[in-house]
Amino acid sequence: MTKQSLSVRDAIIQRRSIKAFNGKKVAEEDLLAILEDATWAPNHGMRNPWRFIVAGGERYENVLPVIREVAIPNWKQLDEETLEKQMRKFTTVGGVVFVIVPEDVRQKERLEDYGAASALIQNAQLLAWDQGIGSCWKTPPFLDNPTFRERLGVQPGERIMSMLQFGYYDVEPKVKERKPFDELVTLFE
């Protein structure tokens, strides 16, 4: 019996950011399929203002030394247990996608591109959730580190907008309380 897909509404309401992955790798082909579908996000002028650096499956192991080098600058001085503890938020992830956007000098286009890439990221998270794959949109400070950018091949005029982590999980996070909807809406008079 095949799994039935979630409705769009159910996917939006049920999706959660996963922060405790179980270490099982996400196949690179699954990440690529998710991204291919996610690129149907609306984007002004069909500029497709994104590119991706993907590390899934066993290839994810190749990105860990780069993350360790820039995320934990003093890693060489740490004992193995402390280093392992600090790296745990990366080592249990099953795959990662770095979303790269152009930094257009025109403010309007830059905002449109950022909005489009945000929609793409939400699409990817919803598509992954529908397949039982968790995700978390991360923006750690090391994304702007010149060494990290260079190691990933990020060019001048580009920005790493997201380190989108994917993986499998054993425990679904609880729903956090949200602001009541009626506090968010003002009806135009």
User: 40-44, 55-59, 82-86, 126-130: which has the minimum mean pLDDT?
Assistant: 82-86
Residue 40 annotated as lining a ligand binding site: no
Q: What is the pTM of this model?
A: 0.91
Tokens of 85: 């503890």
- Say if residues 142 and 87 touch (Cβ distance below 8 Å): no
The domains located in the chain, with CATH, are: 8-167 (3.40.109.10)
- Binding site annotation covers 137? yes
| Residues counted in the chain | 189
Question: Would you say 138 is a known binding-site residue?
Answer: yes
- Residue pair 115/50 in contact (Cβ under 8 Å)? The answer is no
**pLDDT value, residue 82:** 87
| Cα distance between residue 121 and residue 54, in whole Å | 14
139 appears as a binding residue in the annotation: yes
Distance CA 177, CA 189 (A): 29
Q: For residue 135, what pLDDT is reported?
A: 97
Q: Is 50 annotated as a binding residue?
A: no
The span from the CA of 96 to the CA of 104, in Å, is 25
Q: Is 16 annotated as a binding residue?
A: yes
